[in-house]
Structure 1
Amino acid sequence: MSVAEPREIVLFRHAKADWPQVPDHERPLAERGRTDAAVAGRRLADTAVTFDLALCSTSVRTRETWKLAVHELAHRPKTHYEERVYEASPGELIDVLNEIPDDVRNAILIGHNPGIHGLAEVLAGGSEGDARERMNRRGFPAAGFAVLTFDGTWKSLEPGVATLTDYWAPSE
């Protein structure tokens, strides 16, 4: 692919987790989370973004979210479970995204707040329509996602270079 072609990155927060007596990394999805993950998958399919790569945190709740959402997509991308996504800051997440090979056009990152919301804020130098207003008003709840586009290589992805083109979150 040409590096001049626009790329899309979807930042997807895991669905609502349960609070059993287990370490945070091992928390599973709550019943509502399982429902919302599937709904988010259908909404991701509606965006018509075809993902070449999924980068998913290793936590139980992110893996469960992705497993339920990806079933709704027409094309199942290669999935890489990345320990560095768990509890990562926006800067650490950018470092992970900068390592994506240039033959990957579109990617999805399944992670956690506050990192996912912060990353969307940091990357979006601009936005289309009311996407930023909706994202800021909602505060990036569980199972929400933001779609951003940018030009250039993954190594060139840095604060302010992307445009927030869509934002979605399940109704409360």
Structure 2
Amino acid sequence: MLRHAKAVHDPGLDDEDRALTKRGVRDAAAAGGWLREADLIPDLVLCSTALRTRQTWEQVSAALGPAGAQAAVNFESRLYYTGGTGLLDLIREIPEEAGTVLMVGHNPAFHQLVVDLTGQHEPAFPTAALAEIQIRGPWRDTCPGSGDLIRFWMPRPPV
């Protein structure tokens, strides 16, 4: 699970149309580099339809190199509009042949999903942070408590 990188705050824009800042672009590329080094190459990417999440995925994909271009990418509005059980429903719909899945989305829904799946309360889920969660069992059986938090990465230490 990857929270989008830092985006501009412009009251004149619709929330869905907010773009990444320069720092956001750098942090998203760093997240992609971390995924590459950790050998977490996604088979499937589920990405929110918001501009900042799409731009985050573009930077991550570029940092992954050729492997990033091979991932199937689904732009999913439910990652923008839904939280809680809606995200669990989305996970349950993942095809079983997808081994490694990257979800690119938003808080507070992502932070809550980490808590729901793993029972672990990270103190924060800042922009461009990544949570690697191992789901026990098939995707279709995903439920609260069915995941283990393996690693949590942030582009910089929390302040």
TM-score scaled by structure 2?
0.91
Within-5 A mapping of 1:115-154: 115-125=109-119, 136-137=122-123, 139-154=124-139
The match for 1:113 is 107
- 1:136 CA drift (Å): 1.9
Give SS of 1:72's match.
helix
The CA deviation string for residues 7-46 of structure 1, in whole angstroms up to 9 with x for no partner, is xxxx100000001221001110111111111111101112
SS of residue in 2 equivalent to 1:136: coil
User: Could you say which residue in structure 1 is the equivalent of 2:24?
Assistant: 33
Q: Which amino acid aligns with 1:45?
A: R
Structure with the higher fraction of residues in strand conformation: 1
Partner of 2:15: 24
The alpha-carbon deviation at position 88 of structure 1 amounts to: 2.0
SS for the counterpart of 1:38 is: helix
Gaps of 5+ in 1: 1-10, 126-131
Deviant stretches of 4+, over 2 Å? none
1:163 and 1:148 map into 2 onto residues whose CA distance is 5
Q: CA RMSD in A?
A: 1.3
TM-score (normalizing by structure 1): 0.84
| Number of residue pairs matched by the alignment | 153
Identify the residue that residue 140 of structure 2 maps to in structure 1. Answer: 155
Alignment of 1:63-74 (within 5 A): 63-74=54-65
Q: Distance in 2 between matches of 1:49 and 1:136?
A: 21
Among candidates 78, 95, 99, match of residue 101 of structure 1: 95
Please list every run of 5 or more consecutive structure 2 residues that lacks an aligned counterpart in the other structure.
none
Percent identity, aligned pairs only, is 36
* Aligned amino acid, residue 158 of structure 1: C
Matches within 5 A, 1:24-63: 24-63=15-54
